[in-house]
Amino acid sequence: MAWATAIQNSAVTEIYIGGAADTRTRLVAAFAEARAAKLAHSHREAHYFPHYAPRRARHLAQRHIESGREIVLIGHSWGGDTALRVLKGLSPETIPLLVCVDPVPKSRLNPPPRPLNAEHILFIDARPTRPNQSDKVKDFGQLFCGTLHRRLECAHTAITADLNHFAFSQMMLTRAEDGLSALDRINQVGQISQRSPTASPSSAAQGPRG
């Protein structure tokens, strides 16, 4: 029997971008801090930026790309809009993964660009059966600024989550039809599968020749 082992093949930088309310709720900030602590002393890093700091996020990503690291962009709410703009700013460089978690555009007149330089795009859309106040915030933003559904119709993976807009951590763990969550895909970036071969049952049964 043969089995596969995941081996870290390259250094990875995860960049998390929070939404408009994240300075108060710290939904994404706390998640990024927990990731940074977990990844300490490994080949991976996690960084956080508010939605209004696209230049800082892009500069960090560019420096890390130049040093040979792979970049993953994760944006929630308005942070999804910012992540799309940061991605565009990195062109012609290509990143392995973009994750937009229930994104909301900032402007109808100046929508973010379509994501063209990400190898895999994952789009999570929250559609709760029991909306709460956070969903009203999302609805208000979409009423005036539209949605990012058309911008993200090219997504390789789309997840519809029965969760509220502020349930960022839970959405990161929600599995797609292929059984993988956003966090699963993030963890796969920079890894290769090394197969450990063993003799087949038939050859073992035959014994040595000669």
What DSSP string runs through 25-71? H-HHHHHHHHHHHHHTTSSEEEEEE-TT-HHHHHHHHHHHHHTT-EE
In a domain, 149, yes or no: yes
The pLDDT of residue 1: 44
In a domain, 209, yes or no: no
Angle among Cα 28, 33, 35 to the nearest 5 degrees reads 95
Full residue range of the structural domain in which residue 60 is found: 3-204
Q: How many domains does the chain have?
A: 1
What mean pLDDT value characterizes the chain?
A: 88
Structural tokens at position 91: 């062109």
pLDDT greater than 60 at residue 193:
no
In a domain, 152, yes or no: yes
Angle among Cα 199, 204, 207 to the nearest 5 degrees reads 135
In a domain, 64, yes or no: yes
In a domain, 210, yes or no: no
User: Which of 47, 172, 206 lies closest to 100 in space, CA to CA?
Assistant: 172
User: Which of 132, 121, 134 lies closest to 22 in space, CA to CA?
Assistant: 134
User: Which of 100, 96, 120 lies closest to 161 in space, CA to CA?
Assistant: 100
Structural tokens at position 87: 């991605």
Residue 147's CATH number: 3.40.50
pLDDT greater than 70 at residue 209:
no
pLDDT greater than 70 at residue 145:
no
pLDDT greater than 80 at residue 142:
no
State if pTM tops 0.85.
yes
Quote the distance between the C-alpha of residue 2 and its chain's center: 31
